[in-house]
Structure 1
Amino acid sequence: MVRRTAALLGALALAASVLLVAGPAQAEATAPPGTVVPVQVTGDAAKRFNLVIVPDGYASADLPKFREHVDKHLNVLWTIEPFKSYRSYLNVYTVEIASPESGVSCDPDIGSPRRNTPLRMAFWGGCNPSGVRRLLTVDNTAVNNYANLVPGTTAANRQILAIANSDTYGGAGGTYATASGGNALSALITPHELGHSLGGLQDEYDYLNRGVRGGTYTGGEPDSAHHTLLSEAQLREQRKKWWRWLGEPSESGGVIGRFEAGLYHSKGVWRPSKHSMMKTLGYYFDQPTREVMVQRLSAKTSILQDGTPDTAPIGADRIVWVEPLHPVSHSLAVSWTLDGKPLSTNGSRSVDLAKQNLAPGKHTLVATVTDPTEFVRDPAIRASAALTRTRTWTVDTSLTTPRPQVPAEFVSSTPTDRPVGATDVVYVRTTRPAAQEPAVSWTLDGRPVTTSADNRDLDLKSLKLTPGRHTLTATTGAATRTWTVDAQTPATSFELSKPLLTRTSPTGDPEYVFNAPFTMRLKATDDTKGFVVPEFRTNGDGWFNYFGWPTDAGAPFRFTPDGTNIDDLVYGKLGTPRLSPWDEVPPGYGRHTIEYRAIDPAGNTATPGRFAVTLLRQPPACTATVTGRHLGPLTITTGVTCLESATVTGPVTVKPGATLVATESTITGPVTSEGAGGVHLLNSTVTGPVTLTGTTGDLTVVGGRIVGPLRVEGSTATDRGPVLAGVQVIGPVRCGGNATAPDNLGAPITGTGPATGQCAPLRQG
């Protein structure tokens, strides 16, 4: 049976809907064989949450590209909490299939070829002319058959992700997830989809179909944990939903509060933060949604994995033990009670009953394993079976425990096949004889290091490692395990398009001035193999995944005052975010701080770098352009005259209402304007006096040199003043009567001669 998702992809996110079969008709053929490749195995598949990734449209020669796509998808996932801290709860497998043909059907257009591929993936909702181009569907039966090749995984303990060999933006979400492998945003589909299928989270954007704003929500209090009708005061008074997080700085930017829109409606319902993973791909989960994800992810396994059997009474002459799970970021807490009284075990995973001096008879021993993560504040979630497990034994002093000889060996540990990060918690599990506790010792670069109460965990963060590579070794008996510790953060750099002006701030940070949209490219490198994930944030907002540009992963990110509309979503808006075309927010002119960093495959996060940009209004479009040499006077009476790398010998006069834009040009002779619509002298040289009076629009003098006096008076714009920044003036500078005082953007006017009036604060040296 063929069905399609009802909801469209949205808001840099995907609709929470069930993806079923859709694809072009094709003759049945023998399915190509699939090869299971373990990518990350942290334990028995039956005891883990399993991510099974299946490719489509990757011919044999394309499979290396598929592996690169998987590496990127996973490394992005491991930067996002709670997956970063709990990646050890997941197994990841791929099922490699060599497709008979390369590519998938109807990519990128409905008239594009139908291809013979194992999963019959297709854009346009399965090559449906009335479908949506970005809706990428898969044959359910086929993808399940391949996923079933992974032993121990079932529909209950796995998430299937089908990746198409395509650079076109597309995917779908729900029970099964699909994504194009090579698109800039592909790797961000998976965490959002896991928010739906694993966390039961809902979409936070304000439309169902892109470009069509949703109306007012009229239902009752939503079941969604991260949507409400209640005010902040009511949330606190009634202790409902995310009240414990109110006022906290949000992991996805801003603070946790109450923000209108969500559940495909623009009004009448509220969410916890401005933008989180469930609203906009690229940001993190905020605290309320992260808390839910911790509970749901932990519930997919058992935090108490193993222990001394409790199905029958045990003797009082033995050691009793439990084996908890091992998050990457912290250790689970283990506590013990004997006949209801706490034992002083200092967090050890074992108790030696022979040392308890038990009175003859029967006793009750209880071990409790709890996840102390700071990601959870709700006591009900903390006490749930997802985060708290107990095991109870009846201890009978009349019983004698057999004591077979069991050598001290390691039975499992943090994987040794990849470097661990400088802040990871590394663990080992040893054999567990009934009569003794195998001793474990640790060395770092050959030097002994201390660890947890029973020496099974080592918190590297507490060691404050020096940058570089280190060797960590654990020893029990004659057995050893060795890890490479990567304590070197990735290197991150940025490239910007050409600015009007560059300066260094008093704090040593670079600052740039632009008068048009600009681009930023982030580059991140590391000495650990694998995809390095760059991030940036503006004005202290949430960290945002740097994916290139939505239409091209290799292109730089583009910043504009109002953002760029791509397929009815808005990208690159400076200042107050604008995510949908109908968002009414002020343009992003002015000064902004941009921070950047990267996270390497070992989980090390670089110290952020920082720079500032000031975005000025863009000059109007030219109606006349002068290049090369111009001899004699130049009088601009109407429109916009642009001098582009021009050389003008003679006076330049700008009449009322007209505009001059001189870029990297040379003018010999006075420049005079009175009542001009705008004057822009950009990295240009003027030999002669410059007199600019009564300008009604933008007046911008940035960079360059003026040999002669500069006078700026009577500018009438009230929302912005003249900009006189980084220009060298050999002569006096006088400003007065401007409706808004001139600004040098932190780049003083240099040169010789006094500065008076409103320009007095702008001069240096």
Structure 2
Amino acid sequence: MTFSPLLRFAGLCLLAISSAQAAVPAHYIVFERDAQGRAEPVFYTQVQLADGQHDRAGALAVERGVERIAYRALRNGAKSAMAYEARQANFLRAEFARDPRYGDGTIESHPLLRDPHRAFVVRVPLADADAIEFGEGAGRTAQRFDLRALALDASRLRLAATTVSAGVSGAVGDKALNSANRLDILVLGDGYTAAEQSLFAEHAAALKTAMFQVSPYKEYQSFVNWQAGFVASGQSGADHPPYQAGCTGTNCCADSAARSDPRAGRFVATALDATFCTSQIHRLLTARSSKVMAAAAGFPDWDKIIVTVNDPVYGGAGGSYAVLSAHSSAALIAIHEFGHSFHGLADEYETPYPGFPACSDVGGSVPCEANVTNQSNASLVKWRSWFTPGLPIPTPDGTAGTGLFEGARYRSAGMYRPVDASCLMRALGTSFCPVCRQEYVRKLYRGGFGSPAAGIDLIEPGSESPVPSATVNYVRGSTRRFSTRLLRPGAGTLGVQWYLDGVAIPGATSPSYDFVQTATTPATRTLELRVTDRTAFVQPSMAGDLLRHQRRWTIRVGNAARTLAQVR
């Protein structure tokens, strides 16, 4: 028996309201925006989300170059009290190794470029909405979309034929264990035919290897779900517009670097429209963002997307997601761009960028990114706890260690970086400096990248036994076990300690604790588990409470007969 989309919609709504299972039925809608900023739905489906938190307002951190699109969920005509936000990257980043043939990691960059497709995704639980409304903005009026009508019209939307990705490889961490407590990275492929699925799996595996050999990704890989989703294309590769001086269209390339393109003039039909020479920059390899987001519906819990393109020519892009070609050096582009899109880092090189938005840690409303500053007073520099003892501040070029080196964020003077040259945000093929490495770990715990909204928890949510939210009725003289499951980084140690009424219990340093009390008093006890990541990647003075997580239980002590009566 088959059901109409509207009946399926209603059934899923009832399931969302009544079911106690972890997965949340949700709408998944891809929108494109026109020049006036008005949204057009181009793809609709219904999915199961791990916790339904992706679009909750406040779940996403403010990112430079990313617009937060506010909307309200409506149900039976009433607006929900909960505010929602989608996000849209307005710009593309074009940053490449100057000469990847000889391992020259010096970054050749271009100004931020407007994303020509301006797409975003709305993920909202069915139980919360049968309609959504985008607010008014500069030069545009509010827009309301009936999600029941979209469900009926899904097959007629412009990208309805987009193939939803199929799984290829499992997670780096343990997705089945608790996807709602992980950073979910989805790798999609473009330019792979149905016969090339195994090749895509190889390329995705090579990218995973390249990324997780970099610190701190390597040490925190257990915090990541890495999924590879295959999308079949009609032909292999990407478009290669041929060189033509003065070109302004999409069928030719004005960048003189296109003269040496071995595939110049080749155009192919691919699922995600991968093409070189976006915005007339030969190495700027992009895919159509709306098609990428539609294909990603096969893994709807994604927090970040990376697209690998089956093409040997060097190229890639950054933005709302990273794109890279199959060239052996292109993975470094994706890793550098992840430093922007996830860590929230600034470029540390000095190539001039006229008109780039200013920042200041001395005064003003826009503070600088974590790895750059215009503050030269040693006692006020935000990463001063990382300073190598004895280094002069500011620090002369050529000096080893962490200090304050002048030249960063597209300026040769007045802006500073933590190390001289060995940082991935200054040159490809190096490693992250201590400050950039620290920011990745802090971001994992701070959240703001989607779900979990409040960051990753060292105590796996839902693993607690008994549940901490209810008072535990305890029979005096019995043994009651309290337990949790912990999420452990691949390096360093976790500090685990149980407390009873605020006092540390000697020797209670495992994920479980057996509570026993023979006395009648105290009649109410408080049991607490505190877990701390003791990583050396984060300075204690810059950690705050991010690395400490806890659970607390209230225990009511009673005799057997009285406790049974309380339970009834």
Taking structure 2 as the reference length, the TM-score comes to 0.61
- 1:346, 1:368 → 2: CA distance? 11
Which amino acid in the other structure matches residue 246 of structure 1? F
Give the alignment partner of residue 90 of structure 1, picking from 203, 212, 224.
Answer: 224
Equivalent residues of 1:335, 1:368 under 8 A apart? yes
Give the alignment partner of residue 548 of structure 2, picking from 370, 373, 388.
Answer: 388
2:168 is equivalent to residue 8 of structure 1: no
Task: Note the C-alpha offset of 1:83.
Answer: 0.8
Equivalent residues of 2:464, 2:484 under 8 A apart? yes
2:145 is equivalent to residue 35 of structure 1: no
Task: Note the C-alpha offset of 1:224.
Answer: 1.4
Equivalent residues of 1:55, 1:96 under 8 A apart? yes
Equivalent residues of 2:336, 2:424 under 8 A apart? yes
Give the alignment partner of residue 413 of structure 2, picking from 237, 246, 267.
Answer: 267
Equivalent residues of 1:226, 1:241 under 8 A apart? no
- 1:218, 1:89 → 2: CA distance? 31
Q: How does 1:270-669 map to 2 (within 5 A)?
A: 270-275=416-421, 276-299=423-446, 300-305=455-460, 306-308=463-465, 309-316=467-474, 317=478, 318-354=480-516, 359-384=521-546, 387-398=547-558
Relative contact order (alpha carbons < 8 A, sep ≥ 6): 1 or 2 greater? 2
Deviations 1:532-577 (A, max 9, x none): xxxxxxxxxxxxxxxxxxxxxxxxxxxxxxxxxxxxxxxxxxxxxx
2:393 is equivalent to residue 244 of structure 1: no
Deviations 1:24-69 (A, max 9, x none): xxx9783345312233241332221111001111123333332222
In 2 relative to 1, CA 20–14 (structure 1 residues): closer, same or farther, beyond 3 Å? same
2:274 is equivalent to residue 121 of structure 1: yes
Higher strand share: 1
Q: Describe the SS at the equivalent of 1:353.
A: strand
2:210 is equivalent to residue 76 of structure 1: yes
Q: How does 1:219-230 map to 2 (within 5 A)?
A: 221=362, 222-230=367-375
In 2 relative to 1, CA 295–261 (structure 1 residues): closer, same or farther, beyond 3 Å? same
Moved more, 13-22 or 200-209: 13-22
Structure 1 runs of 4+ with >4 Å offset: 1-4, 13-19, 213-220, 355-358
Q: Describe the SS at the equivalent of 2:287.
A: coil
Equivalent residues of 1:15, 1:172 under 8 A apart? no
Task: Note the C-alpha offset of 1:185.
Answer: 1.9
Q: Describe the SS at the equivalent of 2:203.
A: helix
- 1:14, 1:343 → 2: CA distance? 56
Q: Describe the SS at the equivalent of 1:323.
A: coil
Give the alignment partner of residue 201 of structure 2, picking from 64, 67, 74.
Answer: 67
Deviations 1:616-649 (A, max 9, x none): xxxxxxxxxxxxxxxxxxxxxxxxxxxxxxxxxx
Which amino acid in the other structure matches residue 267 of structure 2? R
Task: Note the C-alpha offset of 1:360.
Answer: 3.8
Task: Note the C-alpha offset of 1:139.
Answer: 1.3
Deviations 1:688-741 (A, max 9, x none): xxxxxxxxxxxxxxxxxxxxxxxxxxxxxxxxxxxxxxxxxxxxxxxxxxxxxx
- 2:464, 2:111 → 1: CA distance? 39
Equivalent residues of 2:159, 2:291 under 8 A apart? no
Task: Note the C-alpha offset of 1:338.
Answer: 0.9
Which amino acid in the other structure matches residue 203 of structure 2? H
2:358 is equivalent to residue 203 of structure 1: no
Task: Note the C-alpha offset of 1:325.
Answer: 0.5
Q: Which residue is equivalent to 1:617?
A: none
Equivalent residues of 1:201, 1:289 under 8 A apart? yes
In 2 relative to 1, CA 391–226 (structure 1 residues): closer, same or farther, beyond 3 Å? same
- 2:215, 2:111 → 1: CA distance? 20
In 2 relative to 1, CA 57–261 (structure 1 residues): closer, same or farther, beyond 3 Å? same
Equivalent residues of 2:424, 2:431 under 8 A apart? yes
Q: Which residue is equivalent to 1:538?
A: none
Equivalent residues of 2:319, 2:341 under 8 A apart? yes
Deviations 1:240-298 (A, max 9, x none): 31111111799x99311111111111221110012201111111111111111111123
> What is the RMSD of the two structures over their aligned residues, measured on CA atoms?
3.4
Q: Which residue is equivalent to 1:176?
A: 321
Q: Describe the SS at the equivalent of 2:273.
A: coil
Equivalent residues of 1:366, 1:390 under 8 A apart? yes
Which amino acid in the other structure matches residue 408 of structure 2? G
Task: Note the C-alpha offset of 1:132.
Answer: 0.8
Equivalent residues of 1:37, 1:95 under 8 A apart? yes
In 2 relative to 1, CA 259–253 (structure 1 residues): closer, same or farther, beyond 3 Å? closer
Which amino acid in the other structure matches residue 199 of structure 1? H
Equivalent residues of 1:364, 1:392 under 8 A apart? yes
Q: Which residue is equivalent to 2:27?
A: none
- 2:196, 2:234 → 1: CA distance? 11
Deviations 1:399-449 (A, max 9, x none): 769xxxxxxxxxxxxxxxxxxxxxxxxxxxxxxxxxxxxxxxxxxxxxxxx
Equivalent residues of 1:17, 1:175 under 8 A apart? no
Q: Which residue is equivalent to 1:148?
A: 297
Equivalent residues of 2:165, 2:188 under 8 A apart? no
In 2 relative to 1, CA 253–162 (structure 1 residues): closer, same or farther, beyond 3 Å? farther
- 2:399, 2:204 → 1: CA distance? 28
Task: Note the C-alpha offset of 1:352.
Answer: 1.1
Q: Describe the SS at the equivalent of 2:324.
A: strand
Q: Describe the SS at the equivalent of 1:383.
A: coil
Q: Describe the SS at the equivalent of 1:397.
A: strand
- 1:168, 1:32 → 2: CA distance? 25
- 2:458, 2:430 → 1: CA distance? 28
- 1:271, 1:83 → 2: CA distance? 21
Task: Note the C-alpha offset of 1:361.
Answer: 0.7
The structure whose Rg is larger is 1
Q: Describe the SS at the equivalent of 1:324.
A: coil
Task: Note the C-alpha offset of 1:330.
Answer: 3.5
Task: Note the C-alpha offset of 1:14.
Answer: 7.0
Equivalent residues of 1:371, 1:382 under 8 A apart? no
- 1:120, 1:253 → 2: CA distance? 46
- 2:304, 2:410 → 1: CA distance? 25
Taking structure 1 as the reference length, the TM-score comes to 0.46
Which amino acid in the other structure matches residue 245 of structure 1? W
Equivalent residues of 2:287, 2:323 under 8 A apart? yes
Where does the alignment leave 5 or more consecutive residues of structure 1 unmatched? Answer: 402-765
Give the alignment partner of residue 106 of structure 1, picking from 240, 265, 270.
Answer: 240
Equivalent residues of 2:164, 2:296 under 8 A apart? no
In 2 relative to 1, CA 353–268 (structure 1 residues): closer, same or farther, beyond 3 Å? same
Higher helix share: 2
Q: Which residue is equivalent to 1:689?
A: none
Which amino acid in the other structure matches residue 83 of structure 1? Y
In 2 relative to 1, CA 173–13 (structure 1 residues): closer, same or farther, beyond 3 Å? farther
Q: Which residue is equivalent to 1:188?
A: 332
Moved more, 392-401 or 253-262: 392-401
Deviations 1:141-179 (A, max 9, x none): 11111112115x14xxx1100111112221111321111
Task: Note the C-alpha offset of 1:334.
Answer: 1.3
- 1:68, 1:280 → 2: CA distance? 27
In 2 relative to 1, CA 399–9 (structure 1 residues): closer, same or farther, beyond 3 Å? farther
Equivalent residues of 1:291, 1:376 under 8 A apart? yes
- 1:85, 1:139 → 2: CA distance? 33
